[in-house]
Amino acid sequence: MKSAPQLLTDPFLQLPTATSVRVVWFTEFSGNKHIVNYGEKLSQTIRASTTKLSRTREDQQSRVANRTYKQPFKRDIWRHEAEVTGLTSGVRIPYRVMSVREDGENISSDVFTLAPSPKTGTSLKILLTSDHQLKPMTAANLQKVVETVGQVDGVWFAGDLINVSDRASEWFDDHRGGALFPGLQGRAKYEMEHNGVKTIYTGGQIIQHAPMFTAIGNHEVMGRLARKTSLNDEFDDTIPRAVAQKLYSGKSLIDNSFNTDTYEEIFTLPKSQEGGKKYYAVSFGDVRLVVLYITNMWRTPNLDPKYTGRYREAEKDLNNPENWGYGQIIYEPITKGSKQYNWLEAELNSPEFKQAKYKVVMFHHPPHTLGDNIVPAYTDPVQIIERDEDRKIKAVRYEYPKDKDYIIRDVVPLLEAANVQLVFYGHSHLWNRFINPNGVHFLETSNVGNTYGAAWGNRKRDVPLGYKEDYVTLGDPNGLEPVIPTIDPLLSEDGQPIPYIASNDITVFSIFDTGTGLVSSYRFDTRKPDSEVVKFDEFELK
């Protein structure tokens, strides 16, 4: 007997307008019919349209129940989306979804609530999060969000939702219990153990009721399609479009450089004419949120000749340019005069932006942080090829001129001039914040997934010796002092307040309350499952 049909995810909300919102969910069958029931007594019905994800696969590193793979293998997943229309701002109504399989068997979700985009003047709680990546503290973090502040009205996710974008189970059903959707839907099952005490965290039921707006992080980007034998290697196999054009002329540029197809197939986001879903702006209550595509390839700082690193090519590949990594390549230009920069400039001059009470910009790469990932500078790698007398390649190195950091040189001055109050980002897996001389707040609240540490005190960044440019080992390379948390900072061993949280035990989340203008950050010590969540920092957007 065939088992009963199941939904691969609960439904979740996307792209609210003044009178509508999209409901999206996934199944592993194409089905005969997929519907949303909504309204009082769920008496209204709308049919969903169905698409199939084109690049989702599993491979030898996948952790799915009852199955192992020897190499990347296509996984069939269908996505259903319906737009519920005729809604009234401020009025929340119940809904559920139902999918009917080809054999007529059906499955319904639980009942959740939906609402269209909130009007200006509405007090909203928005969760600021990033870098979940199936990390051990993510489920605990999201569970504590719901236990502490209840249902939020929106989620802003500053990139790195998963580790390897085309590996389906990372989004849906990794059997260790920490996949993306289960965490954000209260269906995670992630076990943590301290001193022999086991606690299972479920995440929080969040995005069934609240729309999520996301930015692309480096982990949403996949490399060249199927040139490697595992999805991890394929993830690492990105090259610049211009190089792909030379190496693979006449073939698909997307398949032969890098792509964000799976991410774009999963989410329905606001779009800009220039950047589509990759960069966009949206009004949500009193906020104008501008989302940028600012992320680059992450490569190891290790100078060992065996690695394709951020500062050098691997020795074995010196004569194989098709195997080079080309350093930490930037996926979408943001430099002055680029298409994205011009779009940003126009957006910052738009009436929607100018009239908004709160002006917030979100992207993945940090402009200011104590984290490691801010070095080297956010700029196109400068390739240096060293040759011997016979013109044979001895080394291929990359430098990153700090005075050409596009975020600091080009983007931040624009944001300052436009009176942006908050710049929100992730990538380094820690919590810290900054205020620049013009009063712009910078917040990195990515101690959701586990930390990569802070360059502070005795802990220095791994920077290349003997290189020409300035690679900063400690503090914020872009010159700001971190702000000490205002309410209850952690203390160092000698009792001094620490201006960051970089911990594999203490997880952090932040909530922006548009009613008060306060951005509040909370910490939870996963070593003490019964302990209280502590509000440790708060600042106001004015």
Tell me the residue nearest to Fe ion as measured from the CB.
Answer: 427
CB of 217 to Fe ion, least distance (A): 4
Nearer to Fe ion, 15 or 362 (CB): 362
How much of the chain is helix, strand and coil, in % rounded to 5? 15, 30, 55
Each residue 60-99 as x (binds Fe ion by CB under 5 A) or -, in order, gives: ----------------------------------------
CB of 70 to Fe ion, least distance (A): 29
Give the amino acid at 431.
W
**Stretch of 157-165, 324-332, 414-422, 531-539 lying at the interface with Fe ion (CB under 5 A):** 157-165
Each residue 477-496 as x (binds Fe ion by CB under 5 A) or -, in order, gives: --------------------
Nearer to Fe ion, 178 or 217 (CB): 217
CB of 309 to Fe ion, least distance (A): 17
The three-state (H, E, C) secondary structure of 18-86, written as one string: CCCEEEEEEECCCCCEEEEEECHHHCEEEECEEEECCCCEECCCCCECCECCCCCEECCCEEEEEEECC
CB of 364 to Fe ion, least distance (A): 6
CB of 53 to Fe ion, least distance (A): 22
Among the listed residues 208, 218, 421, 526, the single contact to Fe ion using CB under 5 A: 218
Nearer to Fe ion, 177 or 371 (CB): 371
Among the listed residues 58, 81, 153, 160, the single contact to Fe ion using CB under 5 A: 160
Query: Considering the rule CB under 5 A, would residue 203 count as an interface residue with Fe ion?
Result: no
CB of 462 to Fe ion, least distance (A): 16
Nearer to Fe ion, 217 or 477 (CB): 217
Integer CA distances (angstroms), 16 to 92, 269, 270, in order: 12, 9, 9
Nearer to Fe ion, 160 or 347 (CB): 160
Size of the site for Fe ion (CB under 5 A): 4
Residue 406: name the closest of 373, 386, 380 by CA: 380
Strands (E), 414-501: 422-425, 431-435, 441-445
Those residues with Cβ within 8 angstroms of residue 168's Cβ, 6 or more apart along the chain or in another chain: 53, 56, 57, 58, 62, 75, 77
CB of 374 to Fe ion, least distance (A): 11
User: What is the maximum alpha-carbon separation in the chain?
Assistant: 82
> Is the torsion defined by CA of 485, 487, 492, 495 positive or negative?
positive
**Stretch of 36-44, 58-66, 156-164, 416-424 lying at the interface with Fe ion (CB under 5 A):** 156-164
Nearest-angstrom CA–CA distance, 277 and 338: 17
The number of helix segments (H) and strand segments (E) in the chain equals 10, 27
Residues 273, 305: contact at Cβ < 8 Å?
A: no
Among the listed residues 5, 116, 136, 217, the single contact to Fe ion using CB under 5 A: 217
Query: Considering the rule CB under 5 A, would residue 427 count as an interface residue with Fe ion?
Result: yes
Nearer to Fe ion, 95 or 293 (CB): 293
Query: Considering the rule CB under 5 A, would residue 308 count as an interface residue with Fe ion?
Result: no
Nearest-angstrom CA–CA distance, 7 and 231: 25
Residues at the contact surface with Fe ion, assessed by CB under 5 A:
160, 217-218, 427
